[in-house]
Chain A
Amino acid sequence: MTLEVIGISVLWLFLFGYVIVASIDFGAGFFNASTIVTRKHHIVNSVIQRYLSPVWEITNVFLVFFFVGMIGFFPKTAYYFGTVLLVPISISIILLALRGSYYAFGTYGTKGHVGYTLMYGVTGVLIPASLSTALIVSQGGFIRETPTGGIELDFLSLFTSPFAWSIVALSLVSVLFISASFLAYYSSVAEDIEALNLFRRYTWIWSFPTIVTAMGIIIEMKWHNPTHYEGMLSLWWLFALSLVCFIASLWLLKKRHYGRSFIFVVLQFAIAFYAYGVSRYPYLLYPNLTIYDGFTNETMAYALITAFVFGFMLLIPSLYLVFKLFIMNKPYIQKRNS
């Protein structure tokens, strides 16, 4: 394995980590807000608060990690993505900022403030949409050259592209699906039957749109980027495996094995995510930038990988502690119900 491949694999791992923890977080915020509107808030409130409070900060760090690592391993991406994505990513930052601070204001400051909670829910749904622009643009076809020799984002073709909107739709529904599946599991640990029933229903509701949009995108890719489509076809068995995991997760959900069901949801996304990543190899930004021409110098690559290994030796035990204290800890999760 070359250094470039190690680098992009590490980054892809961070991005996947962010996709999962952020999905749970964004979805939880959305359910928290939407149940205020549907007057079912009292059912889900305690479960969501118990989970979110100690971990909300950690979510954000995954994103910064991915992003800093990206510039570290592939400094050229700073030029391409930085120049092109000024507007969409700035919007994401603003939404993330409002969301993060309103969460803190609502949770630690004025408890139960409806405005803050609604804000938290709405921004949570908009962020995946604005962040997925980065993924869409990296697919190629939305960047044009300026007369002065620079590059810029072609907003018109971006906003009128059905392909782009399909990815936005996929990011939205999969956020709700992943989140509902996790919260169903969490409320089963909490033995909170009412919340469990609600989240189980949400998982069913959001599961089918997720799989339909995902398949739709694979088909659309044929017209949008034939090279990438070929790459995906050659990995068809991985996407098939992902589909099997999807079916397994629903079957386990029906059998009321919520923990195992959630594990299969993660597996489903992990396989599809990695298959998608491998199929676009070696492009970071099609067709301008590959992982080979954007790579950092060798010394820095070794230094980063070393830092990464040591950092992870520190992080994994700490994350395990968080898990033990808050996520797998029955007395903690159940406390407010008793």
Chain B
Amino acid sequence: MESVELSRYLTMLTLSVHVIFATVGVGVPIMITIAHWLGLKRQDEHYLLLAKRWARGYVISVAVGVVTGTAIALQLALLWPRFMEFAGQLVALPLFMETFAFFFEAIFLGIYLYTWNRFKNPKHHFYLLAPVVLGSAMSALFITSVNAFMNVPQGFTLIGGQLTNIQPLVAMFNPAMPTKVAHVLTSAYMTTAFILASIAAYHLLKGNRHEYHRKALALTMKIALIFSIATALVGDLSGKYLAEYQPEKLAAAEWHFETEGEAPLVLYGVLTEKNEVKYAFKIPYALSILVHSNPFGVVTGLNDIPKEYHPPYEIHYFFDIMVTIGIWLTFLSLVYFIALWRNWSFIKTKIFRILLVTSGPLAMIAIEAGWWFTEVGRQPWIMRGFMQTAEGATDSPHVGIMFVAFAVLYLILLIGTAVVLTRMFKKNPVELELEKDSIEQRSVAK
């Protein structure tokens, strides 16, 4: 295999691992903030403990997120030296600002973790979360803007291989950026909420009747519902953006070959070698409605785009996975919310709880599928319209062996994280910790 292919696979591997921890890294701070705030407001030790325990688990995921993030930051130059040489002049600003935001977050997270009970006014400790939430959201914003730039490069003029008229802010605030950032943030909050809900549901499923887990489940599912709806709305805007700026990606995702009005939305199915779609659900007019909010709107098809610029047609499956899971989880959280409100008891059945337990992992699969869709969907470009992927890659012959080394590393990291996290919480169950806290408080009261 050539270095280009291997570099692509290694980048994909690193990012696929990193995105797990990055998503959690963006999402958990806001969950901790909500729980901590509720705890202070209602004087409820259960919510305070939720914040404390989430924060403790969060540290492990941050650690792995930091190291995989360092890996991808360095790999960008190691695997794509020519691309970074070129793009470095255009996107250095958001890359630089991303590290500032992360630095800010890292500092305050460290302070927050080590200052429980060190402030006389507990609210001062709570305020430390603001820079953590802000820092994590800002670093997502800056890094996503770099990715958005690769999809819609702008803010410069290329004359005979020379870059002129460079405008860093125009490059950063490109048309892809608003929808991308919004989709990344809402889906990260949504996924994290479902993951934490999964944990609570797991304890309830195992027969634990503690008030703590019920509160955790109700809280996280409500947050999950809000962000599922937000994610879906932003996803719709992303589709409209694609139709306008990257029609080839949308057309490949939808297996939409003929440019036509009244375009149907294609779900599932398989593609034959002659590019015929079989066994698929077709929702008439839906694609036109999605793109133009008008059932008769004309949608560009793949046949009107030069063949060498077609993305791989497999991205259709990634798109389907993402959308299907998104809709299913929105529906699940809506049902849960209504049932909670109307006091229906079927949400306490075993089957429903199993569904809740699967929601977190499903959301994470959707995140992965979504990133694969967007990244594979801009092939053959590394910078759409300016540089093809093969032109940006390294010509080093050692990429293969590095791929193996990193694959082993990530396996160790993933297993390690899973083992450590389960042990951490199994050895120190909620009941034990609540008891310890109340003993401490009584001794303080005396």
Write the residues of chain A forming the contact surface with B, with a CB cutoff of 8 angstroms: 53-55, 57-58, 60-61, 63-65, 67-69, 71-73, 75-76, 78-83, 85-87, 89-91, 93-94, 96-98, 100-105, 108-110, 146, 148, 150, 152, 296-297, 299-300, 303-304, 307-308, 311, 314-315, 318-319, 321-322, 325-326
Contact = CB atoms under 8 A, between A and B. Distances in A.
A302 to B, nearest CB: 9
Given A72-B96, A82-B78, A100 B67 contact: yes
Contact of A94 (B85, B96, B394, B409): B409
Contacts of A54: 110-111, 113-114
Given A297-B166, A300-B166, A71 B103 contact: no
A79 B421 CA distance: 40
B84 interface: yes
Contact of B409 (A85, A87, A98): A98
Given A299-B167, A303-B168, 4 more contacts: A78-B88, A101-B63, A296-B88, A315-B104
B271 interface: no
Nearest to B10: A90
B81 interface: yes
Contacts of B95: 68, 71-72
A75 B92 contact: yes
A300 B93 contact: yes
Interface string B26-66: 00000000000000000000000000000010011011101
Contacts, number: 213
A75 B89 contact: yes
Contacts of A65: 99, 103
A331 to B, nearest CB: 9
Contacts of B60: 104-105, 108-109
Contact of A86 (B59, B102, B398): B398
B266 interface: no
A82 B78 CA distance: 4
Contacts of A76: 85
Chain A contact surface mostly: helix
Nearest to A146: B395
Interface of B: 56, 59-60, 62-64, 66-71, 73-75, 77-82, 84-90, 92-93, 95-100, 102-104, 106-111, 113-115, 118, 131, 163, 166-169, 394-396, 398-399, 402, 405-406, 409, 412-413, 416-417, 420-421, 423-424
A68 B73 contact: yes
Given A87-B402, A300-B93, A93 B70 contact: yes
Contacts of B423: 109-110
A75 B396 contact: no
Instruction: Return the 7 tightest CB-CB contacts between A and B, nearest first.
Output: A72-B92, A75-B88, A104-B63, A82-B81, A109-B420, A78-B84, A97-B67
A58 B114 CA distance: 14
Contact of B405 (A90, A296, A321): A90
Contacts of B402: 86-87, 90
A71 B106 CA distance: 23
A82 B7 CA distance: 13
A57 B66 contact: yes
Given A60-B70, A103-B63, A69 B96 contact: yes
A63 B413 CA distance: 21
A138 to B, nearest CB: 14
